[in-house]
Chain A
């Protein structure tokens, strides 16, 4: 019962994610394509939530659903002829081939990987990861991965300063 329900939710979310992604490339209307991209992002967030990764799911909605998509829509605004701008371009066959290659590579990797199922009763530290993923991630970021964390901070600071330098009125 529980499993059937979980599977139904998974397939629904997967359909939303993949369907949204397909709409992005098939819609002629740029605005609709951008909005389909958001649907796909939200579907992916749902998949993360189903995997008990609440923090990643919420971060996906916050960053991709709320911020990146606003940037995308603003970029769409700058496009000429929004209702039909999303049509074929000369690079399309090459892009299709690259996408197919990437898909094949990923599918092969997923099929080859040895998936281990976790036991129902997890040892304490591992259980804590699933119960409270946010604080586990935070602790890891400030202990084991503190160098990467600081490097990302410097990178973001540089990006902010760069953005300010670019838009500054002289």
Chain B
């Protein structure tokens, strides 16, 4: 608890401001205010970035597919998110008669909560974070796994076959890709020697994107699968199962799911920036701004991937996770562990030159691992019945 008043800049300043205004006997109020301000700041920043990203992605997708994208509401269509919100709020709110009303209503809330909870451990500036958990990386995996519960709730409570199929596919993908994702996070833990995201950023003398390219590749691939981004968006495959678990949702409940999806990408960008891109570390720009630029870069790259790749079949997606991504992530963890034992000093810490040496070793290793595993996975792949793969 004490680190709130020493390491956490925002909390410390708000606390000092209230105490200096009201006196020391109001310390409990200062404590509450500081916590409230900090949480409001982060939640609203994530929501604002997600809202902005709904516009940016559609404009960019339009550009990449030779269209205009939303350009009517406001200058260059920047007020489009507002127009969308008004449209969604005024739509009729439909709950399927055969469905379970309570679970149907709670599902979008749980979905958004799992995303916003993950934002709590991301350091977004020098000394700026909600909390510095020393199990931060594991916490990220834990709260994001709650999303699969929300998806199942949405799918089953809709009492609709397309919803159920969609949620089953979604959970199959979520469960399968959680393993390579956690393995990629494990590689970072080995490198940094800590699971605290604040500690990872502070110990990152060279971007881990360069030191552990394989880990970054596995992380980005697995996170796009977890977020149902296009090469992996079978859960909402319009041509097959209408809109998957979102089929029965309308109005603002659909809006909350939609926003949660974009907020999840923003949070994923924050995690990627913190784990692989040195987080907020740079002296030239203010750390907050630099962090947001990195998140924006991740988001633009994600949109680019979305516009480039076609959708895969469910069985291809699951085979890719188990036969390619999982072995490759094992190679990553094994290589990083051996290098850390070999190069780490007496306390196991890695200096900047150690990290650059590791980068020089790991890039060829990554290319070889991807080429070899790609070849093995391709030879072994047999056609699987889609029904059987989707049902798992």
Contact = CB atoms under 8 A, between A and B. Distances in A.
Given A62-B138, A134-B134, A31 B156 contact: yes
B142 interface: yes
Nearest to A63: B142
Contacts of B171: 70, 74
Interface in B125-147: 133-135, 138-139, 141-143, 145-146
Interface residues of B, number: 25
A126 B133 CA distance: 19
B149 A73 contact: yes
A65 B149 contact: yes
B149 A62 contact: no
Contact of A70 (B103, B133, B148): B148
A29 B135 contact: no
A54 B135 contact: yes
Interface string A45-64: 00000000011001101100
Contacts of B141: 62
Nearest to B175: A70
B7 interface: no
B4 interface: no
B194 to A, nearest CB: 8
Interface string A84-120: 0000000000000000000000000000000000000
B255 to A, nearest CB: 23
A69 B149 CA distance: 8
Contacts of B157: 31
Given A55-B138, A134-B135, A35 B153 contact: yes
A61 B28 CA distance: 30
B149 A58 contact: no
A24 to B, nearest CB: 15
B315 to A, nearest CB: 12
Interface in B337-381: none
A11 B152 CA distance: 30
Nearest to A167: B392
Q: Which 3 A-B pairs have the closest CB atoms?
A: A66-B145, A62-B142, A61-B142
19 contacts: A31-B100, A31-B156, A31-B157, A32-B102, A61-B146, A62-B141, A62-B145, A65-B142, A65-B146, A66-B145, A66-B146, A66-B148, A73-B152, A74-B171, A77-B164, A82-B156, A134-B134, A134-B135, A135-B134
Interface of B: 28, 100, 102-103, 133-135, 138-139, 141-143, 145-146, 148-149, 152-153, 156-157, 164, 171, 175, 178, 195
